Amino acid sequence: MASHRNLAFSRCGWLAAAQLCSLAANASTTSVQVFTDRAHPVEAPPGTRVVELDAPTSLEAGLSFRLPPDPTRAAAIARARLNAGGAPLQRRLTVAYQGVVYAWSLGIEKIPAVVVDGRYVVYGVPDVARAVSLIDRYRRKHP
């Protein structure tokens, strides 16, 4: 971000840079992500990315449901189930694990967690609009 600001200062002059900074400060939130699980439902506006951190466990439970005790047969059945799910199931697994890794990389400590711009977080507020409002209020007070 600093490099973009420096570029703006050098190419557009101080007035244009001030206008750009003002627009950026007044712009609506660019990225909102919610981290939760099925035991902690949230109220999120349409289009908000909600990551259920227990999704990988749920998907794996479906793949391993009633597997036989024989490891060789169990592995073959699990593979067959994974293949039967095809690309859509593999995408769901990939997305589920990416969400968990991203939450871990952000240092998410509790759920629900509402994260704005990968930088600001509010814990324990299931109403996403309210959580974003709290973050926006903080950002206005601490520019």
- Tens digit of pLDDT for each residue in 16-71? 333 333 333 434 446 999 999 999 999 999 999 999 999 999 999 999 999 999 99
- Tens digit of pLDDT for each residue in 65-81? 999 999 999 999 999 99
Query: Helix axis angle, 71-106 relative to 55-64, nearest 10°?
Result: 180
Using alpha carbons only, what angle is made at residue 129 by residues 125 and 130, rounded to the nearest 5 degrees? 50
Predicted TM-score of the model (pTM): 0.73
